[in-house]
Amino acid sequence: MDTSQIEKQIKDIEDEIFNTQKNKATEHHIGKLKAKLAKLRNEIDKRKSAGAKGKGFAIKKSGDATVGLIGFPSIGKSTLMNKLTDADSRVGSYDFTTINVIPGIMNHNGARIQLLDFPGLISGASEGKGRGREILSAIRNVDLVLFMIDAQHENHLDLMTLELQKAGLRLNQRKPDVVVKRTGQGGINVTAATKLTYLNEELIKSIASEYVINANIIVRDDITEDQLIDVFIQNIVYVPAIVIINKIDLVSKEVLLNQINKIKQKSWKLIEISALKRKGLDRLRDIIFSELKLMRIYMKPVGKQIDYNEPLILREGNTVNDACENLHRDFKNKFRYATVTGTSAKHDSQKVGLDHKLKDKDILTIVTTR
Ligand SMILES: Nc1nc2c(ncn2[C@@H]2O[C@H](COP(=O)(O)OP(=O)(O)O)[C@@H](O)[C@H]2O)c(=O)[nH]1
Ligand SMILES: [Mg+2]
């Protein structure tokens, strides 16, 4: 089948789903249609990205973490970027031959956080409009998405979410706990290890049968139809995101509250700012730092002062071992013990080993053999 035929099929299935009323009698049919649709979209993605290979959509990362700033054109991305990053860090833009991404470094809490100013996305981006495919593919590699919307446009959030969804990006979602073990025979067996509110075993079988013939499927999360389909598609990425409402200086309190309430229903982290008027930027910096789950570790070399100026930047969950690996390999090779003062310690200067989990603002001393 050539690409245009697949695109036609996609369109037909989309129409059919749209026109079918969902009820008990049609849910199997719709489930199957959705699964087919996802498969076809995946096929198109594979073909188009194969054509684009070698153009290098991979982002050159630098700093302690990478954050992508995305949104429709003219919502204030570049304005915000200019306020958050040092001018001399914005030298040179990445040329993905087709899209232009401007990197900058934001220094906050001793961390160097790379911000990427992506070209504006437009409706239809996931189908390739406005270089959308390239942009969406580059976004897949960031540690955090700043999802920027204009306070004046209530529908921006839904429109953008749809484009990201179609491009296989899942914002603020956990990868569902579903195990699919392919087997040689016996058909499809489903075990639900939790109470299912959106799906039942028959529906799961019927969706799964679009992808597998023989398999044991264990479902441990109360997932939706779409989440189940994600399990079978290869190219899904899960990225944390913050919603930024910009240009709050241009709307009334009522309009803003309306937007805020809508986003709150999704229980996404949200911040209102005016990039132009520099409103809310300090809070934004703090939120970026905490959503990246970065930790400041203040090093205290044996017999010396605590270094509060240049903390070691680690990620939540990191251990003394990670600290050693970040500092110098000798710290690990010659490690005797460490002492920690701070939130992760039971008492000041607690003696700990390599597997001790650190917390933000801990003071750490590593003692090595000579
Ligand atoms: N009133 C107001 N205008 C803004 C704000 N942020 C950006 N703008 C303006 O919106 C326009 C587009 O901004 P720009 O940063 O180029 O948007 P981008 O296309 O998303 O990078 C410019 O005229 C900015 O001055 C804001 O917070 N309030
Ligand atoms: Mg711009």
- Looking up tokens 């460490």 gives 338
pLDDT-derived band of residue 158, with 50, 70 and 90 as boundaries? confident
Between residues 38 and 350, which one has the greater pLDDT?
350
The predicted pLDDT at position 47 comes to: 79
Residue given tokens 């993905």 in the structure block: 96
Tokens of 250: 């241009």
Once rounded to an integer, what is the mean pLDDT over residues 102-127? Answer: 90
275 CB within 6 A, ligand 1: yes
**Average confidence score pLDDT of the chain:** 89
Q: What is residue 76's predicted lDDT score, i.e. its pLDDT? A: 94
Question: Which residue in the block uniquely carries the two structure tokens 């429709």?
Answer: 72
Least confident range of 55-64, 121-130, 203-212: 55-64
Cα separation, 88 vs 104, in Å, equals 8
Percent share of the chain, pLDDT over 70: 94
pTM over 0.85: no
Of 367, 353, 357, 362, nearest to 299 by C-alpha is: 362
* Closest-lying ligand 1 atom to the alpha carbon of residue 273: 27
Residue 221 pLDDT: 94
pLDDT band at 1 (very low <50, low <70, confident <90, very high): confident
pLDDT of residue 55: 44
Handedness of CA 201, 202, 206, 207 (dihedral sign): negative
Q: What mean pLDDT do residues 103-109 have?
A: 93
Length of the chain: 370
Cβ–ligand 1 contact at 104 (below 6 Å): no
Task: Determine the pLDDT at residue 292.
Answer: 96
- Ligand 1 centre to CA of 279 (Å) is 13
Distance CA 178, CA 211 (A): 15
pLDDT, tens only, 39-77: 888 888 777 765 544 344 556 778 899 999 999 989 999
| pLDDT (mean) for 241-263 | 93
- The mean pLDDT value for 276-284 works out to 97
115-129, 183-197, 251-265, 348-362: which has the highest mean pLDDT?
Answer: 348-362
Least confident of 86-90, 359-363, 365-369: 86-90
* Pairwise CA distance, residues 50 & 45, whole Å: 8
Q: Is the CB of 247 under 6 A from ligand 1?
A: yes
Query: Comparing C-alpha atoms, which of 274, 283, 271 is closest to residue 146?
Result: 271
The whole-number average pLDDT for the span 138-146 is 91
223-257 b/e (C-beta count within 10 Å ≥ 16 → b): bebebbbbbbeeebeebbbbbbbbbbeebeeeebe
Quick check: CB of 276 below 6 Å from ligand 1? Answer: yes
Which amino acid type is present at position 23? N
Between 281-291 and 77-84, two packed helices, what is the crossing angle to 10 degrees?
90
From the CA of 119, the nearest ligand is 2
Mutation test of ligand 1: which of 276, 278, 279, 281 has the most ligand atoms closer than 8 Å to its C-beta? 276
For 261-280, give one letter per residue: b (16+ CB within 10 A) or e: eebeeeebbbbbbbbeeeeb
Work out the average pLDDT over 20-43: 87
CA atoms of 175 and 141, how far apart (whole Å): 16
Report d(CA 19, CA 212) in Å as an integer.
Answer: 27
